Amino acid sequence: MAVAVARPCNIEMNMDKAKLRENSGTPPPKLGRMQRLKRRLSQSFNRFVPKDNESTRRQGVEPNGASSPRKGNYRQLESSTSPETVTPSGVDAAKAKRLRNRRHSEAVLPNIVTTVAASLPGGRSSPSYMPRRRMSMSPDSPFGKLEAYQRLEMLGEGSYATVYRGVSNISNQIVALKEIRLNEEEGTPFTAIREASLLKGLRHANIVILHDIIHTKNNLTFVFEYVDTDLSKYMEHHLGGIHPHNVKLFLFQLIRGLAYCHARRILHRDLKPQNLLINQNGELKLADFGLARAKSVPSHTFSNEVVTLWYRPPDVLLGSTDYSTSLDMWGVGCIFAEMISGMPLFPGMKDTVDQLTKIWQLLGTPTEETWSGVSKLPEFQKYEFYQYTPSPLKTYVPQLIGSAGGVELLTELLQLLPRKRISAADAMKHKYFKGLGPEVLTLPPERSIFSIPSIQLRDGKKSLTPTPSSVTNGTSAI
C-alpha cells in the first residue's frame, strides 16, 4: 500500500503585525487600503481558531458556512493554553510552537470534519439538506470513517499530499482521496486546515466539492468529488494548444470560480494547470486551496521540490506583500496564454531573477515612469535588470488574433502593475466572452455553464480519458 511520505510543515501561522499590535493593547496606526484588506483576510482566517472547546462548537459551523469573526482569538488561544504551550525561558521556542500548532489543529479539525461530512448525505452535495448539526453529532453517521471508502490507484502527487482514486461504500460513487500524512510533532499542517475550512464554505460549479474528511492518528484524508483530469494532463494531449473555442470555455469557468472566491475575499494563490481539474463534460474546477490565505508563498514543497514560479506575478516576485486578488489574475493570464499556445508563457528555469527576466523580455522592464514605486521593491533594488522594451503580445499568441477581444483580455490580465490588472468580475463581462451569451453572467453559483444548451465543448471529450499516473495492484481499504 503506497503511502505519502511524512513531510514537515513549513507554513507559518497567519498572524500579521496589525493583529499583534491589537493584542498588545497598542492603538492601531492608520492603515492603508491594502493593509486593511490583508488584516481582514487574516481575521477571517482567525475565525477558525477556537477560544476553547465551547466556542469550537459555536464558531464557524453555521449551515451556510458563514461565521462571525471574533476579535482577539489568537490572544485567547495563547492565554488559555496550559503552561507547556507558552514558551518559558530556556525552552526551545520551536518545540513550543510545534506543540501550540498541534493543540490548535486538534481543536480546530474536529469542528471542520463534522461540518463537512454532515452537509453531504450519501456522498452527494446537497445544499438543501437539513439539518446539518443533528447529523454532524450523530455517532451513527457513516462519514468520517476509514471503512467508508476504498482506495484505488494514485492520481497525482502534489505539494503536500498524495491523491488517489477511490470508491465510496456509502454511495458507490467514485471519489478522489487526498491523503495527507500527519507528523506526530507538527500536528495537522496548516495548509490542510486552511483547505478544509475554506472549502466547506464554498459551493460553486467551478470549485471542487469536498465530501468528507477522515481524521486518524497518522493521516488526514479529504474526500473530494472525482474529476477526470487536470488541465496540465489535458494539455499533454493537446500539444499544439487547446481548441480556441474550448480555451474560451475553460477560461470563463476559471474566472467565474475565481470571481466567486474573490467576492468572498478568498485568494487562491496557487493557480497553475495542475490545480485546475476538468471533467468529462468540460467543466473546470478550482482545486488545491492549501495556500489560500497562507501568509507567504513557500519556495519548496514538502518533498523539497522547488515550487514553480511560472504563474507568479512580478510584484510578488519583486518582494511585494501588498497583493490582493490581482495575484490570481496574473496566473489566469499565464494559463490563458498557455492553453491557447500549448507552451508556458514564462517558463523560468532557475530563480526569481530568471523568472522576472522572462517577464521583462515580453512586457518590458519597468521603470519608475511606467511603475511608480517599483524601485522601492526589495528584489528590484537587489539586481540591475537589463532594460528590455515591450514586444507585442499577439506575436506570442497568434492563435488569438482572430478572436474578438482575445489579445485585449490577455493584455488586461498581464499588466505589470497589480492595480491595473483586470478583476475577475470585470473579466467575465469582457467582450472576448460575448459569444457565450448573457445568460452565463446570471447563472446561480452552483449551476454549470453547460446547463445552457448553446454552450458545448468542441471535440474535447475524446481526449478526456483519465490517464492515471501510476496504478497500484488491486484495491485497499484506507
Residues 267, 259: contact at Cβ < 8 Å?
A: no
Residue 295: DSSP 8-state: S
Strands 476-477, 149-157: pairing kind? antiparallel
155 binds, among ligand ADP, Mg ion, none (CB under 5 to 8 A by kind): ligand ADP
CA–CA dist 42, 283 (Å, integer): 31
Smaller CB separation from Mg ion, 135 or 276: 276
Q: What is the enclosing helix (H) or strand (E) of 362?
A: helix 352-363
Backbone angles phi, psi at 222, to 5 degrees: -95, 130
CB nearer to ligand ADP: pick between 230 and 412? 230
Q: Which amino acid belongs to residue 332?
A: V
Residue 357 contact partner, candidates Mg ion, ligand ADP, none, CB within 5 to 8 A by sort of partner: none
Binding site partner of 212, from ligand ADP, Mg ion, none, Cβ cut-off 5-8 A by kind? none
Burial state string for 421-446 with b = 16 or more CB within 10 A and e = fewer than 16:
bbbbbebbebebbeebeeebeeeebe
Quick one: CA torsion of 393, 399, 403, 407, rounded to 10 degrees? -10
Catalytic option among 212, 228, 230, 270? 270
Q: How far apart are CA 11 and CA 15, in angstroms?
A: 12
Which of Mg ion, ligand ADP, none is residue 291 near (CB under 5 to 8 Å by kind)?
A: none
Q: Which residue is nearest to Mg ion (CB)?
A: 158
Q: How far is the CB of 230 from Mg ion (least distance, A)?
A: 9
DSSP string, 413-463: HS-SSGGGSPPHHHHHTSGGGGGG-GGGGT--TTS-GGGSTT---SS-GGG
Q: Given the complex with Mg ion, which of 178 and 262 has the nearer CB atom?
A: 178
The distance of closest approach from Cβ of residue 113 to ligand ADP in the complex, given in angstroms and rounded to an integer, is 18
* DSSP summary character for residue 343: S
Quick one: what does residue 123 bind among ligand ADP, Mg ion, none, with the CB cut-off 5 to 8 Å set by partner type? Answer: none
What is the smallest separation between the CB atom of 93 and Mg ion, expressed in angstroms?
31
SS3 27: coil
Q: How far is the CB of 88 from ligand ADP (least distance, A)?
A: 36
Give dist(CA 123, CA 145) in Å, integer.
Answer: 13
Shortest Cβ 190–Mg ion spacing (Å): 16
Closest residue by Cα to residue 59 from 130, 101, 106, 112: 112
Query: What CA–CA distances, in Å, run from 287 to 227, 251, 256, 284?
Result: 10, 15, 14, 10
Query: Which x/- pattern over 278-317 shows residues binding Mg ion (rule: CB under 5 A)?
Result: ----------x-----------------------------
Q: What are the beta bridge partners of residue 286?
A: 207, 276
Binding footprint of ligand ADP on the chain (CB under 6 A): 155-156, 158-161, 163, 176, 178, 208, 224-227, 230, 274-275, 277, 287-288, 290
Distance separating alpha carbons of residues 183 and 101, to the nearest angstrom = 11
Shortest separation between residue 288's beta carbon and ligand ADP, angstroms: 3
Q: Binding partner of residue 148 among Mg ion, ligand ADP, none, CB under 5 to 8 Å per kind?
A: none
Judged by CB, which is closer to Mg ion: 22, or 288? 288
Closest distance of CB 468 from Mg ion, Å: 16
Residue 287 binds: one of Mg ion, ligand ADP, none (C-beta under 5 to 8 A by kind):
ligand ADP
Q: What DSSP designation does 170 have? A: T
Is 228 part of the annotated catalytic residue set? no
Of all residues in the shown chain, the one whose CB is closest to ligand ADP is 158
* Shortest distance (Å) from residue 404 CB to ligand ADP: 33
Which cell is 16 given?
500579521
Question: Pick from 50, 60, 123, 158: which binds Mg ion (CB under 5 A)?
Answer: 158
Decide if 18 contacts 35 (C-beta within 8 A): yes
Beta carbon nearer to Mg ion, 202 or 374: 202
Binding letters toward Mg ion, positions 236-275, x by CB under 5 A: ---------------------------------------x
Rule CB under 5 A: is residue 85 a binding residue for Mg ion?
Answer: no
Decide whether 233 or 430 has the Cβ nearer to ligand ADP.
233
Nearer to ligand ADP, 178 or 430 (CB): 178
Length, in residues, of the chain: 478
Q: 446539518: which residue's cell?
A: 132
Q: Which residues bind Mg ion (CB under 5 A)?
A: 158, 275, 288
Q: Which residues are annotated as catalytic?
A: 270
